[in-house]
């Protein structure tokens, strides 16, 4: 698999208050494409960040309707991957780590 397709599977990390708290437990959250499976996600994370993955959980987030003033729109559906690493490994998502 080439680097371009690896970056196509894992689109971006999810950075929120909850996810930054879980970094202490070696748990990281990523947006991934909806067609990917757990084995592909595990292999891509291990190759991209040079870490050893312990467990991968996935969630399909359904589309949500949002209203801003009188306008209604939808947030697209996506897939979230929760990746837990072994104790000896870390992923540096921020510059100061």
CATH number of the domain at 11, please.
3.30.70.330
Say if 11 falls within a structural domain. yes
Report field, pTM of the whole predicted structure over 0.85: no
Mean pLDDT by 10 residues, the chain (97 residues): 68 93 94 94 93 96 93 93 94 75
User: How many domains does the chain divide into?
Assistant: 1
The partner residues of 31 in beta bridges, in order of sequence, read 12, 80
Domain presence at residue 32: yes
Going from the C-alpha of 67 to that of each of 44, 62, 63, 74, 78, the distances in angstroms are 36, 16, 13, 9, 19
What pLDDT sits at residue 5? 67
Task: Kindly state whether residue 31 falls inside one of the protein's structural domains.
Answer: yes
Residue 68 placed within a domain: yes
Q: Would you state the pLDDT for residue 31?
A: 95
The whole-number pLDDT of residue 16 equals 93
Q: 21: domain range? A: 3-85
Rounded distance between C-alpha atoms, residue 82 and residue 25, angstroms: 12
CA 90 – CA 24 distance, rounded (Å): 9
pLDDT at res. 8:
80
**Residue 74 falls inside a structural domain:** yes
91 within domain boundaries: no
Strand partners, 69: none
């Amino acid at each position: 698999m080439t680097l371009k397709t690896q970056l196509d599977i894992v689109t971006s990390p999810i950075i929120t208050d909850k996810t930054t708290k879980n970094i202490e437990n070696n748990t990281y959250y990523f947006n991934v494409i909806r067609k990917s499976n757990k084995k592909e996600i595990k292999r891509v994370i291990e190759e991209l960040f040079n870490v050893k993955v312990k467990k991968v959980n996935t969630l399909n987030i359904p589309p949500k309707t949002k209203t801003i003033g009188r306008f209604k729109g939808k947030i697209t559906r996506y897939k979230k991957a929760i990746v837990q690493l072994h104790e000896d490994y870390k992923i540096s998502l921020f510059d100061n780590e």
